[in-house]
């Protein structure tokens, strides 16, 4: 059945419906293949010419423009990258100097603080020593004055006590003359003590 269809198609073309363009001899074999068909040659010339003009006038300029633009873009990109790098480097140097300065400053502050502390400590110690000395002196003075006061008190009490005792002992056994004598002497003695 399939073969029928093929045969019909072949018959149709052989009978000239639709019409073949040229009536070349079928016995030509493969040699006909080496001869160009006129309409194909013309089509080839036209098609290739169009392609050639397109490539020449549009495609190659477009390619060149694209590549040039890319080259420029890459160059600009590299330049800006270089610039950014330099900037970053200078920033880094800045920061490094700043950090170094800050470290120095910190060390200075610490040492200053230590010095200040030392001086405060010395001050305090000196003041404390002075105060202690003053306290000691005052205490000594107080002790001295107290001793004096106590001594005088004691003297007075001894005198009073002596008189009392003397009165009690002597009483009536002593006449008025000897009593006066004794008292006077005693008073003299007391005066000697004083």
**Contact residues: other proteins, CB under 8 A:** 1-3, 5-7, 9-10, 13, 18-22, 26, 28-30, 32-37, 39-48, 50-52, 54-56, 58-60, 62-63, 65-67, 69-70, 73
Q: Shortest approach of other proteins to residue 12 CB, angstroms? A: 10
DSSP secondary structure string, 28-85? GGGGGGGSPPHHHHHHHHHHHHHHHHHIIIIIHHHHHHHHHHHHHHHHHHHHHHHHHH
Q: Shortest approach of other proteins to residue 85 CB, angstroms? A: 22
2 Cα distance to chain centroid:
91
Q: Shortest approach of other proteins to residue 4 CB, angstroms? A: 11
**Tokens encoding 123:** 């001050």
- CA–CA separation, 92 vs 80, rounded Å? 18
Q: Considering beta carbons, is residue 4 or 194 the nearer one to other proteins? A: 4
| Residue 165 near residue 156, CB atoms below 8 Å | no
Q: Considering beta carbons, is residue 66 or 167 the nearer one to other proteins? A: 66
Q: Considering beta carbons, is residue 51 or 88 the nearer one to other proteins? A: 51
Q: Shortest approach of other proteins to residue 62 CB, angstroms? A: 4
Q: Considering beta carbons, is residue 44 or 117 the nearer one to other proteins? A: 44
In the chain, what's the furthest Cα-to-Cα distance?
A: 207
Q: Considering beta carbons, is residue 18 or 191 the nearer one to other proteins? A: 18
| Residue 174 near residue 182, CB atoms below 8 Å | yes
Q: Shortest approach of other proteins to residue 71 CB, angstroms? A: 10
């Amino acid at each position: 059945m399939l073969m029928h269809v093929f045969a019909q198609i072949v018959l149709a073309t052989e009978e000239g419906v639709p019409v073949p363009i040229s009536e070349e001899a079928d016995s030509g074999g493969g040699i006909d293949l080496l001869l160009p068909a006129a309409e194909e040659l013309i089509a080839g010339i036209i098609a290739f010419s169009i392609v050639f003009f397109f490539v020449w006038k549009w495609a190659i300029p477009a390619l060149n423009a694209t590549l040039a633009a890319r080259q420029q873009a890459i160059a600009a990109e590299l330049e800006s990258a270089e610039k950014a790098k330099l900037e970053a480097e200078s920033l880094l140097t800045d920061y490094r100097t700043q950090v170094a300065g800050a470290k120095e400053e910190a060390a200075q502050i610490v040492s200053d603080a230590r010095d200040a502390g030392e001086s405060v400590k010395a001050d305090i110690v000196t003041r404390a020593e002075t105060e202690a000395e003053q306290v000691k002196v005052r205490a000594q003075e107080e002790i001295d004055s107290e001793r004096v006061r106590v001594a005088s008190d004691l003297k007075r009490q001894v005198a009073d006590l002596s008189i009392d005792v003397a009165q009690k002992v002597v009483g009536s056994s002593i006449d008025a003359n000897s009593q006066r004598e004794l008292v006077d002497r005693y008073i003299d003695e007391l005066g000697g003590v004083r």
